[in-house]
Every structure is written in structure tokens, then in C-alpha cells.
Structure 1
Amino acid sequence: MNDEENGPDDDLKSRLHAMEARLRRMRDQRASHNEDARRAANSRNSVQDQSKEIRSNIEEKLTEQKEVRSRAKAHQTQRDAIQSRIREIINSKKGRRNEAGKAKSDVVELSEAIAEISQIENKLMTDGTLTLKAENRLLRKLKNLASRRDELLPKAAEFEAINIDLGDLEGTIQTLKAEADAQHEEMKKAHEEADAIWEEVKPMLEERDFLRSEGDRLHEIFVESKELANAVHAEIESLLKEVNEARDEMKSRRDERARVIREHNESVREALKTPDKDEGLADSLTDRLLSEGSLTLGGSMSGDPQASPNANTAIPLKRRKSRKVGAFRKTRK
């Protein structure tokens, strides 16, 4: 009988123990996945911190390179401006040379006129064979030459000024060329400095790309581990419902057995009670006696001839308050 009763319980206990063991394994598995996710997250965060630092260094280097490039651009702008000024001066010099060429012809003409005036004056003073007509012709020519000389004198002065200015322009051009060359050299140095900075940046960019890919890889591991942990957690919740149902069933069975045992013990105790201990039974017996007729008091039987005359007298009994059996007393004679 006990084997038959314990059979279902044993099966339920075995199934419950198996589910609890599986539940422990699944919790360990979930903890393992969470630990993998935690390690991957820590590694990913460390890599991201390194990547953040390298990106900051790259940004600083690129900012420095940008400043150097800007400095090179400034030198280039100054060089181009100087070269443009040199071209303007050269064009101006060409124009001045044209003017100088024209002024030079005027100076030659002036020299020729002065020489001819000197010859005429000398002839007029020394040649005594000149006729009046010839002398008048020479005087008219001398007058014209003197007038032309006066016209050419300002142009000769301008020619001298042009020569001086051309000399100054040449010096200015040479000075500006030297300044343009200096700006060009500064520009080249700045570009070389910027190129050197870029050479420093290139390995940093490679390291940044590596850290980025490594961070992505670790993040994928983190996500995968969390998904596995969540999947196991969902299975744990489902299994935990079954475990709780099995536990509730076992508790229900224990409660049912306890109730049956309690009721059985109670019925046994009720069956073993004596009338003097069972007030309800005493009351029921009293009611039964009262309902069956009369009760003779005195202790003698009704057929005894020695009995007192009064003993044969039936005393009608009224329904009294129930008393326990054994509480009646014999009447005194």
C-alpha cells in the first residue's frame, strides 16, 4: 500500500530533482555567458579608450599640420605677391627704357646742335672772308640752332633722371627677387615639416583602424554572449515554472496526506473516547433512556416482593437537563 502511494511521489521527486539539477546547470551556463560578455565588454571598453586616446593624438597632429600648411600658404602668398610686383616693375622698366631710347635721340640731337652752334660762332669770329649774305645765313641758322638747343635741354635732363630711375628699378628688382626666394624657401620648409608630421600620423591611423576593428570584434562577442545568456535565461524561466508547478504539486500531496492522517487520528480518538469523557455521547444516552419510558429509583427490581410499596410506584420522569451518566443517586429509604 505504501509502495503504491509513494510511487507517484517518487516519480515526481525524481523529476523535480532532475529539473533542479538541470536548472543549476543552466544557471551556471548563463553565468558563464554573462562572464564572457563582461570580459568582452571590459576588453572592448579598454580598446575604445585606447582608440579615443589615439584619435585625440591624431587630431592634435593634424591640427599642427594644418597650422604648418597655413604657414606655408602664407609664405606662398607673399612670394606670389612679390613676384607680381617684380613683373610690374619689369614692365615699368621696359616702358622707361622706351622713353629713355626716345630721350636719348633728343640728347644726341642736342649734342649735335651745340656742336654746330659752336662751329658757326667760331666761323663768324675767325673767318674774315665771309660775305654779308653768307654771314646773315649763318646767323639765321645759329638762331634756329639756339632755339632747338633750348627745346632739347629739358629732355636731356629727363634722360638723366630716367637713367637714374632705371638704376633704382634694377636694384629694387634684385631686392624683391631675393625676398621672393626667401619666402619660397620658407614655404618649402613648411611643406617639408607638414610632410614629416604626416609621416608620424600614418602609423597612428593604422593603429586607430586596428583598434576600431578590434573594438567591433569584441562588441560582437559581447552581443553574442548576451544573446546566449538571454536565451538560457528564457529557458530557465520556462523550466522554473515547471519546477514551481512540481513543487506545488508535491506540497499539495503532502498537505492532502497530512489532512488524511489528521482526520484518521481524529476519528480514532473519537472512537476511543468513554462516555464519561464524551459529553456528547452522554447526552445522547440520556436522551435515549428518557425516550424509552420511565426510570425506577431505589436499586431493587420491580418484581421483588420485599420491595417497599413505594418502590412499585412509577415516578413519571420529566425531561430534565441532561446530566452525565453515573450522576444519578439512590433515594434514601
Structure 2
Amino acid sequence: MEEAIEGQEEDLRNRLNAMETKLKRMRDQRNNFTENARRAADSRNSMQNQGKEIRTKIKEYLDQQKDIRNKAKEHQLKRDALQSQIRELISQKRGKKESSKGNKSAIVELSETVAEIERIERQLMTDGTISLKKENSLLKFLKKLIVKRDELTPLASELNLLNIDLGDMEGSIQLLKAEADAEHKIMMDFHSQADEIWNSIKPMFEERDFIQAEGDRLHAAYLEGRKNADEVHSSIVDLMKEVNEIRDKMKAEIEEGKLVIENHNRLVRESLTTPDKDEDLANSLSEKLIEQGTLTFGGTLSGDFSNAEKKPKAKKPSRKLRTTRGRKR
């Protein structure tokens, strides 16, 4: 009986050992997946830091390039304004009139206004035949021209344009051409600087794209590792439930086996125990003797004891003493 129980326990123990070995292997596998995911995450974070650094450098270069492009744009606007002046002067030189007054450039209007102001001032100072009414009219018109000049001057100053001499058309045209060429050259120099910066940035864009792709690959590896680790962990949880069930079953079977053995041993002991070795019987008789004061064994009846008590006691014969008064000789 005991051998059968031990064999059953051994079988359950072997099954449990096999499952615990499988659990250990699965835990190692899960830990490997977790470690791979951690390494992928560390590498991904390193790549992201590198990408952040290179994006910062690219932004600095792009900001620098943008500033240079803006400077080039300023000189381009000045060049275009000077070229517009040149076209207007050439048109005036050929005797062509503008289709409308609004088409004149600021510098041409300013030059015409300044020339008209100088003419009126010179007329007022030198012409003594002007009537009072005419003089008042010229003064009123002069004030309007001065207001217009004051409005056009800031615009011309903002564009850094030159006042031209309408009396010397050819000289003014050549001067404006020289200024326009200078502005164009400055603009091209700035664009060249911006192009050099762009050539320096292009490899950074390639490196940034590579780092971004590598970071995405490492992130995918991290997600895959975490997914595998979670799947193995889920299997471990299921297997642990089965292991616990087997352990509970083993415990129940072991307890049941122990109970069977104990009952069997008790029955064997009871079958082999004689009355003189029965401790329970001895204890029971002792208690009965203490309570009743008598015990009955075998076929002895209680009446036997009562007859024995009623039987009178035999009188012991008295011993006669003889006195010898003298010894016969």
C-alpha cells in the first residue's frame, strides 16, 4: 500500500518537475525577449538623440540660410527699383509719356517734385513781375509740393534710391545702371553663400533620414520584442495555473494516501491487540473500578460476592494454657 502511494507521489513529482523545467525555460525565453526589447529601446533612444542633435544643426543652418536669402531679397528689390527708374528715364528721354501718373516710380516722382519746388522757389526769388495773386497761388502750390516731397522721401530712403538729375538724363541713367549692377552683384553673392550653406546641409539631410529610418527599425524591433515577451508571459501565466492545479492535486492525493495508510495501520493494530495490551480497555476498567468499586471478570456473578459476605466467620479455637507447677523429674 505504501509502495503504491509512493509510486503515485513519484509520478506526480516527475510531472511537476517537468512542468517547472518548462516554466524555467519559458521564463528564460521571456527574459531574452525583454532584454532584446530593452537593447532595441536603448539603441532607438540613442538614435533619436542623434537625430535631435542633427535636426538642431540643420535648423541653425536653415535659419542662417534664410537670413542670407532675406538679405539677397532686399538687394533684389533695390535692383528692381533701380531698373524701374532706368526704364522710366529711358522712356522720358525718348519722349514717351506714361499711361498714367500712378505708374511712375517713387524716385522719379520725388525727382520731379524736387525739381518743381526748386523752379518755383527760383521764380519767386528772381521774378519781380509776379502779381500778389499769382505769388499766393505759387506759394500754395509750393506747400503741396513740399508735403508730397516729404511723403516720398522716406520711401526713397527705405529703398536706398538715388535722387536723379532730370536735366542730365544720360548721366542719371548710367549712374542708376551702375547702382543696379552693384545691387545685383551683392544679391548674387548672398545667393552663392546661401547655396554653399545648402550644399553643407544636404549630407545632413541624408544622415537625418538614415537615423530616422534606423530609429523606426529599432522601434519596430522593440515593439516586436515586447510583443513576444508578452505572449510568452501569457503562456507562463496559463502554465502556472496548471502547475498550481497539479500541486493542489498532489497535495490532496498525498493527504488522502496518508489518511488511508493511517486507517490501515490503525485497523492492523486493533486486530493484533490482545485485551491485556489494550490500553483503552485498561483505562476503561480503571475508571469503572474508581466509580463502582467492583469489577466483574469471566462468568463470576455478583451474587457470589453477596453470599460470601453473609457466611459467618469461623470461631478460632482458643488455646488452653496449662500451668506447670513443678517439673517432674
TM exceeding 0.5? yes
Distance 1:200 1:280 in 2: 115
- Compute the displacement of 1:264 (Å): 6.4
* 1:169 shift after superposition: 2.4
> Paired residue for 2:283?
278
Task: Show CA shifts across 1:273-319 (max 9, x none).
Answer: 53686258844996996xx9846658xx64x99x328xxxxxxxxxx
Return the letter of the residue paired with 1:249: K
Pair 167,21 (structure 1): closer, same or farther in 2 beyond 3 Å: same
Q: Given the superposition, is the C-alpha separation of residues 288 and 172 from structure 1 closer, same or farther in structure 2, using an over 3 Å criterion?
A: farther
Matching residue's letter, 2:168: D
Over the matched positions of the two proteins, sequence identity in percent amounts to 47
Query: Structure 2 vs 1, CA of residues 295 and 172 (structure 1 numbering), >3 Å: closer, same or farther?
Result: farther
Q: Which residue of 1 aligns with 2:170?
A: 170
- Which amino acid is the alignment partner of residue 226 of structure 1? R
Number of matched pairs: 237
Contact between 2:9 and 2:254, CA under 8 Å: does it hold in 1? no
Partner of 1:183: 183
Tell me the equivalent position of 1:308.
312
Q: In the TM superposition, what is the alpha-carbon distance from 1:43 to its structure 2 partner?
A: 0.4
| Partner Cα distance (1:296, 1:28) in 2 | 88
> Alpha-carbon deviations, 1:150-199, whole Å to 9, x = none?
xxxxxxxxxxxxxxx76522222222111111100011001101110110
Aligned counterparts of 1:15 and 1:282: Cα–Cα separation in 2: 54
1:258 deviates by 4.1
Query: Following TM superposition, by how much is the alpha carbon of 1:219 offset from its aligned partner in structure 2, in angstroms?
Result: 1.3
* Maintained 8 Å contact 1:12/1:250: yes
Correspondence list, 1:317-328, <5 A: none
**Deviation string, structure 1 residues 127-152 (Cα, Å, up to 9, x no partner):** xxxxxxxxxxxxxxxxxxxxxxxxxx
The root-mean-square deviation of aligned C-alpha atoms, in Å, is: 3.5
* Preserved CA contact (<8 Å) 2:5 2:257: no
How far is 1:34 from its partner?
0.4
Find the aligned partners of 1:76 and 1:232 in 2 and give their Cα distance: 67
Q: Deviations over 1:237-266 (max 9, x none)?
A: 111111111111122223334445566677
Q: For the residues of structure 1 that align with 2:34 and 2:4, how far apart are their CA atoms? A: 45
TM-superposed CA distance for 1:3, in Å, is 2.4
**Residue 50 of structure 2: SS of its match in structure 1?**
helix
The normalised TM-score by structure 2 is 0.63
Mark the CA change 1:295 to 1:240 in structure 2 (over 3 Å): closer, same or farther.
Answer: farther
Q: Give 1:19 deviation, angstroms.
A: 0.3
Does the C-alpha gap of structure 1 residues 78 and 280 become closer, same or farther in structure 2, counting only changes over 3 Å?
A: farther
CA distance in 2: counterparts of 1:253 and 1:202, whole angstroms: 76
Q: CA deviation at 1:16?
A: 0.3
Larger Rg: 1
Query: 2:206 is aligned with what amino acid?
Result: E
Q: Cα distance 1:256–1:176, how it changes in 2: closer, same or farther (>3 A)? A: same
- Letter aligned with residue 23 of structure 1: L
Distance 2:288 2:234 in 1: 65
Q: 1:242 to 1:288 in 2, by over 3 A?
A: farther
Superposition deviation, residue 26 in structure 1: 0.7
| 2:166–2:172 CA contact under 8 A, matched in 1 | no
**Cα offset, 1:60, TM superposition:** 1.6
Assess if the C-alpha contact under 8 Å between 2:26 and 2:232 holds in 1.
yes
Amino acid corresponding to residue 278 of structure 1 in structure 2: N
* Alpha-carbon distance between aligned partners in 2 of 1:66 and 1:280, rounded to the nearest angstrom: 117
Higher relative contact order (CA 8 A, sep 6+): 2
Please tell me whether the aligned partners of residues 65 and 198 of structure 2 are also in contact (alpha carbons under 8 angstroms).
yes
Q: How far apart are 1:94 and its partner, in Å?
A: 2.5
Superposed CA deviations along residues 36-95 of structure 1, whole A, max 9, x for unmatched, are 010011001101111111112112211211221111111111100011011112222223
CA contact (8 A) 2:2 2:261 kept: no
